[in-house]
Structure 1
Amino acid sequence: GLDIICPVARALASREDANRTGKISTIIFIRDKNARGQEISGYIDYAHRLKTEDFSQYFMEKKKILPRPGDLSFYNWETQNVVATSSPNYTVLAENPSGLLFKNKRDRKIINVDPT
């Protein structure tokens, strides 16, 4: 095993197998700066990203986990670019008075990510 120091990477690594097997489903929220120094934020379907990308670089802290336009949601604060994309695990419900919602395709439960 890897010696993972970063608490976020350690938490994600501890959930890796359960997300890969479908026992749990995890949505990651990240707000950070991209390579151009622009502030970006978004919600990532962790199980979907695990299937489409090698996470060992993130666990070893050689790469930063950043949201992308293909994730559940992506927002570039400088360009005002907004993208919402459903994944194999979640349907994005963007046109909602409650704000951004995600509907789990397996159990059909709605996840409201509004912290208020």
Structure 2
Amino acid sequence: MTLPFGLIGIPELKFYYIIENFNSTIDNFSLLQSTEREAVTFLLYHQEVNNSLINKIDIITTCMLIGMKKEEVDLFLIASLKKGVEGKTNIALNTKAPLFIDRNNNIGMQYVLQNNLYSTQHLL
């Protein structure tokens, strides 16, 4: 898959693949692996267009702005693991800058949503 603008913070890396079902004990999570730099891997959380984390109108508007059809888009949130209280591990999702992937053209774009409803550290 190609990300023509890369990801935020590493725009120079443009080629990735997604590893689905990498762990049978957790649902909706995939890995995003760079083909250009082996050490660059991200945990992704898959979301439907209709979801409780990002307003549907923001998803539809973004699809129009970046030239993708919402019917052909897979939506992912970059996830991170955070140590919480008493050593418990929490999962934080970046709802501010989701990754939109056009599954038919194998091209993607990370887009920063332009309102204050979303966070880079939304706890799951």
TM-score, normalization by structure 1: 0.26
1 or 2, which has the higher strand percentage? 2
Q: What is the TM-score of this pair, normalised by structure 2?
A: 0.25
Greater RCO, 1 or 2 (C-alpha within 8 Å, sep 6+): 2
**Higher helix proportion:** 1
